[in-house]
């Protein structure tokens, strides 16, 4: 059980820690350089590599979570008995997964195509997508921090 908890926490730390680094360290550094191509390339490269960490962490979290619940005596087949804090965590995790998938699978590829266009050639919808896409990871980080808080409450219950 200790190994499973360790893997679960390690996966969460890797995911959330990487989000904090990209959002609070690397992204501001890139923005302060005002679109020098090599800094944008660095950010994009780091974000692409981090994507593998994220999806690996998600796989670990989704595989260890149910086992850990079962080891705590919570039946996976009887969710009526689950504590409210678990429902809260699962709801936040679901929203976080949806945001992550939207960012990685829909917005990311779309923004890459739009970014290749000169700014004057972009439609107003494309400009909105680019502006909106930068907020999705920020919201995801906020959600991840809430998940972390609720997970701490769950561990104490």
Expressed as residue numbers, the domain containing 11 is 2-156
- State residue 4's pLDDT score: 94
Q: Is the pTM of this model over 0.75?
A: yes
Is the per-residue pLDDT at 86 higher than 90?
yes
- 122 phi and psi angles, rounded to 5 deg: -85, 135
Q: How many distinct structural domains can be found in the chain?
A: 1
- pLDDT tens-digit series, residues 32-84: 766 567 777 888 899 899 999 999 999 999 999 999 999 988 888 888 889 99
Confidence of residue 28 (pLDDT cuts 50, 70, 90): confident
Query: Does 14 or 1 have the greater pLDDT score?
Result: 14
pLDDT mean over 93-102: 96
Confidence of residue 120 (pLDDT cuts 50, 70, 90): confident
Average predicted confidence (pLDDT) for the chain? 91
pLDDT above 90 coverage of the chain, percent = 62
Is the per-residue pLDDT at 27 higher than 70?
yes
Three-state SS for 87-130 is HHHHHHHHHHHHHHHHHHHHHHHHHHHHHCCCHHHCCHHHHHHH
Is the per-residue pLDDT at 87 higher than 70?
yes
Query: Does 39 or 23 have the greater pLDDT score?
Result: 23
């Amino acid at each position: 059980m200790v190994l499973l908890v360790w893997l679960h926490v390690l996966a969460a730390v890797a995911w959330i820690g990487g989000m904090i680094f990209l959002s609070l360290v690397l992204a501001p550094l890139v923005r302060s350089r005002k679109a020098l191509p090599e800094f944008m390339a660095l950010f994009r490269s780091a974000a692409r590599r981090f994507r593998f960490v994220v999806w690996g962490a998600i796989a670990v979290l989704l595989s260890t979570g149910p086992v850990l619940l079962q080891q705590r005596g919570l039946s996976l087949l009887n969710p009526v008995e689950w504590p409210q804090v678990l429902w809260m965590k699962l709801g936040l995790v679901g929203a976080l997964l949806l945001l992550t998938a939207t960012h990685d699978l829909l917005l990311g590829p779309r923004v890459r195509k739009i970014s290749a266009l000169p700014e004057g050639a972009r439609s107003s919808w494309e400009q909105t997508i680019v502006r909106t896409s930068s907020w999705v990871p920020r919201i995801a980080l906020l959600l991840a921090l809430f998940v972390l808080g609720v997970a701490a409450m769950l561990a104490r219950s």
